[in-house]
Structure 1
Amino acid sequence: MEWQPLAHGPDCAKPVWEIDQQTASDALRSRRGGPEHACPNEECNHRDRYDRITVRVLCRSCGRVHLLNGEEHTARTTTTVRTGYGQAPKRVAGLWLYPGPPLLDWDWEDAGPSGYLCAREKVARLTEEDIVGGIGEGRGPRGGTIWSAGALSTFGPSVTGRAAPHVTWARTSGDKTFATVAAAAKWVKAEVDAAAASVTTEGQDQ
């Protein structure tokens, strides 16, 4: 949830981004960019010259251009299996499950997602309002894969200093674990349906 989309212009007829990058090696730091300086960390290149990267994101339809600048950059090519985001959601137990990254960073080629966010509807991009539950991977006493779950999400301010909001679940499976993702999804769906039915009953009583 900490990734934020870049905005197109108002009423953009064809919202498609064209993305390029440019790297300027040994660029001179201008006075407006800060005074000449050196960093005591031997592995850091903070000084009056640096490698500057600029990512240009433009839309030819609305004319909007985003220029993203940085230094001491790293770049790598990965896949949606590694990042989690970008994979297609799957329909399980009446919910749409959106996959996350694998549990172990070095074992991502053959490993499945380590968790899922659950939504009632299939959407192009999840928002806080879409999420009704979450499923997470764990290890049982003998090292086997188990799954736990939470339902009815509430989002609050980040508690880690990152952009991602902190999520809490009104109901959790607690000590109850599941052998499969499908079983965990069924539990989430039952909890969400029970909460919805309770709200409906209360409304009728009033």
Structure 2
Amino acid sequence: MISPLDTYLGWDKPEHFTGCRRPAWDVGTRTERDEFRRGGGDPQRRHSCPDENCGHGPRYDKLTVRLVCHSCGSAYVISGEQTGTDTRTAATTTAALGYGLPPRQTAGLLLWAGHPWLGGDGWGDELRGGELHDFVVTRPKVKAVTQDVVVGQITQSRGGRGGVVWTALAVPDPQGQFGYGQYLRWAHANDGRGRGGSPLRSVVAAARWIGARLAEQKPTAELAAGGAR
């Protein structure tokens, strides 16, 4: 399962040269079938994988992605192999990625959809309460999710009797005790079952809980004034 933060953070964008007047990318892909691996002077050297279910071998399909800006002249060439399993090209939609969907305004916050559960194919929707996504949370008026604007995260879980509950993390804090191993650590957490606050049985309830934790934070100016006394 991909975390909602993985959908938005940790991605690099290709850069245009300084002063580009009309920044836009001309994107193309090219697949070269049945290429030989080359190295050590022997184009047909032995190359295999010990996993019998992996097709990794001496021949492969090479995929190249080319990005060109005709305005500033910046260009990128990205190449890799298509194994048919772990690495491949897939034509998909924003609904199947989460990324690219418009944010949902809830409880005065914006909820940005993460990668859908089970690929977003609709299977088992009733088991998830009709919700396909986990969410990254920002304040209103945010145009794009970056690490500095994230204020919370909402993920689906299960209650003691198997019902859907929603866990919530709020207020990024480098020294926070929650979220070890993630892109962000957090000052507050609610497991949706009653630990950390009231049980959270809906996305709206989780968003309201995050909003309440944000409201508890003192404004930066007030903190600075207090420290100067």
TM-score (structure 2 length as normaliser): 0.74
Q: 2:211 corresponds to which residue?
A: 189
Q: Count matched residues.
A: 199
Q: CA deviation at 1:39?
A: 1.0
In structure 2, which of residues 61, 65, 68 is the aligned counterpart of residue 58 of structure 1?
A: 68
In structure 2, which of residues 45, 52, 55 is the aligned counterpart of residue 44 of structure 1?
A: 55
- The AA in structure 2 aligned to 1:149 is A
1:77 aligns with 2:84: no
TM-score (structure 1 length as normaliser): 0.82
Q: Distance in 2 between matches of 1:31 and 1:203?
A: 60
Q: Secondary structure at the match of 1:147?
A: strand
Give runs of aligned pairs for residues 16-35 of structure 1, distance below 5 A. Answer: 16-31=24-39
Q: Distance in 2 between matches of 1:102 and 1:33?
A: 46
In structure 2, which of residues 116, 137, 161 is the aligned counterpart of residue 118 of structure 1?
A: 137
CA deviation map 1:102-149 (0-9, x unaligned) = 223364476534311111143332111000111111122333321121
| Structure 1: segments with no counterpart, 5+ residues | none
CA RMSD of aligned residues (A): 2.8
| Structure 2: segments with no counterpart, 5+ residues | 1-8
Deviates more, 1:51-60 or 1:115-124: 115-124
Q: 2:189 corresponds to which residue?
A: 172
Q: Distance in 2 between matches of 1:183 and 1:22?
A: 47
User: Which structure dedicates a bigger proportion of its chain to strand?
Assistant: 1
Q: Secondary structure at the match of 1:46?
A: coil
Q: CA deviation at 1:11?
A: 2.1
Instruction: Assess, with a 3 A threshold, how the Cα gap between structure 1 residues 2 and 203 changes in structure 2: closer, same or farther.
Output: closer
In structure 2, which of residues 13, 18, 23 is the aligned counterpart of residue 10 of structure 1?
A: 18
- The AA in structure 2 aligned to 1:53 is L
1:150 aligns with 2:169: yes
Q: Distance in 2 between matches of 1:108 and 1:2?
A: 28
- The AA in structure 2 aligned to 1:188 is I
Q: Distance in 2 between matches of 1:37 and 1:29?
A: 9
Q: 1:133 corresponds to which residue?
A: 152
